[in-house]
Amino acid sequence: MTSVQSQSPQSQSPQSQSPQSQSSVVDLVRSQRAFFATGQTKDVNFRLEQLKRLKQAIVDYQDRIVEAVGADLGRPEFEAYFEIASIAEVNTAIKNLKSWAKPKRVPNSLEQFPSRARIHPEPLGVVLIVAPWNYPFQLTMSPLVGAIAAGNCAILKPSEIAPHTAAVVSELVRSTFPPEYIAAIEGGVETSQALLEQKFDKIFFTGGTRIGQIVMEAAAKHLTPVTLELGGKSPCIVDADVKLNVAVKRIVWGKCINAGQTCIAPDYLLVDRRIKPQLLEAIRQQLRAFLGDDPAQSPDFSRMVSDRHFDRVASLLENTGKAEIVVGGQVDRSDRYIAPTVLDNVSWDDAVMQEEIFGPILPVLEYDRLDEAIDRINSRAKPLALYVFSNNKSFQNRVLHETSSGGACVNDTIMHLALPDLPFGGVGDSGMGSYHGKASFDTFSHFKSVLNKGLWLDLNWRYAPYRQWQLNLLKRIIG
């Protein structure tokens, strides 16, 4: 099976980086702590200048970023430009930073007179950002924007599984910032372990649940707070009362971008039994409209990122149980190609339903009653995203109110991720904490509560020796 040469993930990898030694990691963390102690990063104008420098660097490097993502994931140029969307995060931060960083006054009480109470956002210090391979540039830069805006120093660990992009990230950071302020470290497991042994003021991790547990365990040794952006099996419920052609177009697009290697891709469909035949046929037609008769020849379809990830996803097609492949099913390990595949007659006990697929396989299950579908979703770990397609407002509201997920989208997939004013994050097994827009600033900030009292008046209601009138006053204040 031939591949498009310019997009092949088999292209030559950049020279591998030697693992960072423990001593070099310790020295880097120490140098960042010394720089943070100077107080420069606390200046809002300094932060704004660094955000502007980051924005310009992304603009300057955008062609190389797109090329690197294409080399790592076989991404079409259009989808590779999703990585440049981190510029929108920078623009939002630049526009709003002075407002975000300003102390906020909160209501006071009469017994505190004379005083004022405020909440002061302050940077945490030195933070670690561990990035994934599926959107290797965007998911490195987006949290970095929050870290810079909040006034921190940061160390980035790009994923070694996307080596071309990791090299570009490292060069961009090295040419834009001094390492004592912002640094990127390439390397594999040994480098990650060396970093996790250090004490940081915050760790931001995007990746799988298993590695997230390791990160959280390492952070616990230092009482380091963590934000974990994980994943899970994001369900997509399709009602019988729906505009099917639009719904299918949005579902297929959400599943196929980056060959399904998206943390919020619809992982499986729960469709009203009455419309399942029409839905399956509509999916078949939509795939043909998007990718042609042979998606392997389409310039618009990505590849699996590595042999290991190919093998994991392909194995799900080798163990389908009684499920039936109604669309796709073709694989080619030499090209890391897995065809967009739809499975029908899937059982909840099948291998494909036991873990997040993270590939272009879409199991289709059916339901008769909505409460049956909701019960199925609620019996599983809370997903990172949930999708519901319906024209019925009551149906939509029931799904939203009776299920729990990191985020949700009604009558679309993926697109809630694109709004900077919507915090993005998981719940339960799909993660903790959130970011995007102000949520990114908040994630990398400590909100210090400050009570400022005047000395010109000092009422005696709280001082000993205590008298009955003081007790009566206290009861009224409390009550």
From 290, 294, 337, 289, select the one nearest 317 (Cα to Cα): 337
Backbone angles phi, psi at 256, to 5 degrees: -90, -25
Per the annotation, the verdict on 409 as an active-site residue is no
- Give the pair of three-digit tokens for residue 471: 């007790």
> For 30-43, how does the pLDDT look when each residue is reduced to its tens digit (9 = 90+)?
999 999 999 999 99
The answer to whether residues 373 and 354 belong to one domain is yes
Whether residue 245 is found in the same domain as residue 225: no
CATH number assigned to the domain comprising residue 410: 3.40.309.10
Q: Are residues 416 and 436 in the same domain?
A: no
- DSSP state letters, 184-224: E----HHHHHHHHTS--SEEEEES-HHHHHHHHHHHHTTT-
Task: Confirm whether 402 is a catalytic residue.
Answer: no
Q: Which residues contact 77 (CB under 8 A, 6 or more apart)?
A: 66, 70
Residues 71 and 187 in one domain: yes
First to last CA, the chain: 77
Residue-wise burial string across 434-470, b where 16 or more C-beta atoms lie within 10 A, e elsewhere: bbbbbbbbbbbbeeeeeeeeeeeeeeeeeeeeeeeee
One domain for residues 178 and 304: no
CATH number reported for the structural domain that contains residue 126 in this entry: 3.40.605.10
pLDDT at 21: 62
Contact 260, 361 (CB under 8 A): yes
Q: What DSSP assignment string belongs to 70-135?
A: HHHH---HHHHGGGGGHHHHHHHHHHHHHHHHS-EEE---GGG-SEEEEEEEEE-SEEEEE--SSS
Whether residue 193 sits in one domain with residue 245: no
Residue at 476 is within a domain: no
The pLDDT tens digits of the residues spanning 179-216 come to 999 999 999 999 999 999 999 999 999 999 999 999 99
The model scores a pTM over 0.75:
yes
Q: Report the alpha-carbon distance of residue 229 to residue 147 in Å, rounded.
A: 16
Domain contains 457: no
**What token pair was written down for 380?**
């599983």
Please list, residue by residue across 354-382, b when 16 or more beta carbons sit within 10 angstroms of its beta carbon and e when fewer do.
Answer: ebbbbbbbbbbbbbeebeebbeebeeeeb
Q: Is residue 419 located within the same domain as residue 437?
A: no
Provide the domain count of the chain: 2
CA angle 333, 339, 343 (to 5 degrees): 120
| Segments forming the whole domain that contains residue 75 | 5-230+432-447
Could you tell me what percent of the chain has a pLDDT over 90?
89
Tell me which of 96-105, 154-163, 458-467 is least confident: 458-467
Is the predicted pLDDT of residue 19 greater than 60, yes or no?
A: no
Count of C-beta atoms within a 10 Å radius of residue 37: 11
Q: Does any domain span residue 479?
A: no
Set 263, 356, 366, 409: catalytic member = 263
> Are residue 275 and residue 188 in the same domain, yes or no?
no
Query: Of 79, 83, 186, 229, which residue is the catalytic one?
Result: 229
Is 258 in the same domain as 366?
yes
* Among candidate residues 103, 460, 132, the one with its CA nearest the CA of residue 264: 132
The per-residue pLDDT for range 257-307, each reduced to its tens digit, is 999 999 999 999 999 999 999 999 999 999 999 999 999 999 999 999 999
pLDDT at 4: 30
Do 131 and 265 share a domain, yes or no? no
Evaluate whether residue 241 is within a structural domain: yes
473 belongs to a structural domain:
no
